[in-house]
Amino acid sequence: MRTQVAIIGGGPSGLLLSQLLHRAGIDTVVLERKTKDYVLSRIRAGVLETGMVAQLRAAGVGARLDRDGIVHDGTVISYEDSEIRIDFTRHTDSHVTVYGQTEVTRDLYAAREAMDGRLVFNADGVTIHDADSDAPWLTYMQGDTEHRLDCDYIAGCDGFHGVSRQTIPQTVRNEYEKVYPFGWLGILSETPPVHDELIYASSDAGFALCSMRNANLSRYYIQCGMDDHPDNWSDDAFWEALKRRIPDAHAQALITGPSIEKSIAPLRSFVCEPMCWGRLFLCGDAAHIVPPTGAKGLNTAASDVHYLSQALIGHYAGNGDEGIAQYSQTALARVWKAERFSWWMTSLLHQFPGQTTFDMRMQQAEVAFLSDNAHAQAVLAQNYVGLPY
Ligand code: APR
Ligand code: PHB
């Protein structure tokens, strides 16, 4: 089998890249090691920057998003009982759209299938060959049969645990990592959201986040220990912990209900440099990870895909290879700004084990400055709605 661009990974990065390239007349094959149902079963955040919304519309998958997505013109940062509304409209010409990542992936699969996209599921043991040559190729297993895929370029969209990053020689790769000493215990409940915007809450009892999927599906998180387990938390215990961490007015208004999903996510910052090797290019979680506090994971994958799709479209249009040559540098410039914002939000809002009383006073002073200073609020707003591509 042969294609122009081989894409490893059928998550948001791989699917969006495939769809954008196909609409530009470039052939792709997506190799996904799981099944489509498994990919769609993942519960993931969905706070979309306007840049990502523009990409999805350009990919021809904006219809359901435009119908069901919820536009947010601000978000709330709280500390104990005090709260600050960060007004996106006042500080930027932009906003965010709440639309679950699972729905984004569902829309992309539907679009790929409508264009008879070549999506290979249960592609096991994907192996990259000759990525640093002019004729790269892949092998993979389906059942007992080995397949070969020859291509011009390879996009590694296979997430943090994929094969692509590992294919870049260790002598070439530089990895930067920070593992946070806590996790997020999250639940989904079929209850109306406690507020019409997200609430990022800091308190002496720990961090909490009040989010949503739609008018009757809420997503809540509380900071928990790295070694905690969802089975340690009854629904009642979760709700009580959440109420202690959010402003009292919201705690009183909170409508609780049975959890329909309960899980713990670790928090990590990670970047691999460079994001390319020969004709292999990394996109999304394959190259970088952010703690979810800034809602930058999906959105930074989208900006990688923007840069790489534009570079490849330019190449095949005969407009030169400047975009390809500059891809890693261009993508990393924005990646690091997303990493900084995500690290800053996480450092500001969480209780760190072993932190000193001085550290706590620094957090409180940072929140007080944010509360008092419109410029500080503008900086948060500009980062949250998304820095320019
Ligand atoms: N071969 C083929 N497919 C693979 C391999 C492999 N060796 N390893 C992983 N995959 C697949 C996974 O099954 C998954 O479907 O690659 C896909 C990677 O998808 P994501 O992990 O979602 O990463 P990405 O597409 O970059 O999306 C980034 O999604 O996971 C969230 O927090 C993340 O919001 C961010 C966004
Ligand atoms: C979510 O709704 O799951 C969500 C929203 C915002 C975040 C993280 C997660 O920063």
Please name which of 2, 7, 3 lies closest in space to residue 316, comparing C-alpha atoms: 3
Looking up tokens 């009757």 gives 216
Question: Which of 7, 13, 303 maximizes ligand 1 atoms within 8 Å of its Cβ, making it the mutation to test the pocket?
Answer: 13
Q: What does the pLDDT look like over 270-288, one tens digit per residue?
A: 999 999 999 999 999 999 9
Q: What does the pLDDT look like over 229-239, one tens digit per residue?
A: 999 999 999 99
Q: What does the pLDDT look like over 115-148, one tens digit per residue?
A: 989 999 999 999 999 999 999 999 999 999 999 9
Q: Is 156 in the pocket of ligand 1 (CB under 6 A)?
A: no
Q: Give the residues across from 48 on adjacent strands.
A: 97
Ligand 2: centre distance to CA 44 (Å) = 8
58 burial (CB, 10 Å; 0-12 / 13-18 / 19+) is middle
Q: Is 100 in the pocket of ligand 1 (CB under 6 A)?
A: no
C-alpha–C-alpha distance, residues 234 and 236, integer Å: 5
Q: Is 275 in the pocket of ligand 1 (CB under 6 A)?
A: no
Task: Provide CB contacts within 8 A for 5, sequence distance 6+.
Answer: 17, 21, 26, 27, 28, 151, 152, 153, 154, 155, 312
State percent of the chain over pLDDT 70. 100
Q: Is 299 in the pocket of ligand 2 (CB under 6 A)?
A: no
**What pLDDT does 281 receive?**
98
**What pLDDT does 344 receive?**
98
**What is the biggest distance separating any 2 CA atoms in the chain, rounded to whole angstroms?**
64
Task: Provide CB contacts within 8 A for 386, sequence distance 6+.
Answer: 49, 50, 51, 52, 94, 96, 299
Average pLDDT over residues 338-362: 97
| Banded model confidence at residue 45, pLDDT cuts 50, 70, 90 | confident
- CB count, 10 Å around CB of 15? 29
Ligand 2: centre distance to CA 264 (Å) = 13
Please name which of 377, 307, 297, 374 lies closest in space to residue 339, comparing C-alpha atoms: 297
**What pLDDT does 44 receive?**
84
Please name the residue whose Cα sits nearest to atom 1 of ligand 2: 45
Q: What does the pLDDT look like over 215-266, one tens digit per residue?
A: 999 999 999 999 999 999 999 999 999 999 999 999 999 999 999 999 999 9
Tokens representing residue 362 in the block: 């620094």
Question: 3-class SS at 261?
Answer: strand
Give me the active site residues, please. Answer: 72, 200, 292, 296, 384
C-alpha–C-alpha distance, residues 276 and 308, integer Å: 11
Provide the mean pLDDT of the chain.
97
Q: What single letter denotes the amino acid at residue 273?
A: E
Q: Is 301 in the pocket of ligand 1 (CB under 6 A)?
A: yes
C-alpha–C-alpha distance, residues 28 and 11, integer Å: 15
C-alpha–C-alpha distance, residues 87 and 74, integer Å: 5
As separate numbers, helices (DSSP H) first and strands (DSSP E) second, the chain gives 13, 20
Q: What does the pLDDT look like over 31-40, one tens digit per residue?
A: 999 999 999 9
Cβ pair 24, 171 in contact under 8 A: no
What single DSSP character describes residue 284? G
Q: Which ligand is in closest contact with the Cα of 221?
A: 2
Please name the residue whose Cα sits nearest to atom 4 of ligand 2: 45
Q: What does the pLDDT look like over 297-338, one tens digit per residue?
A: 999 999 999 999 999 999 999 999 999 999 999 999 999 999
Question: Which of 285, 303, 305 maximizes ligand 1 atoms within 8 Å of its Cβ, making it the mutation to test the pocket?
Answer: 285
Question: Which of 47, 194, 299 maximizes ligand 2 atoms within 8 Å of its Cβ, making it the mutation to test the pocket?
Answer: 47
Ligand 2: centre distance to CA 249 (Å) = 21
C-alpha–C-alpha distance, residues 341 and 339, integer Å: 6
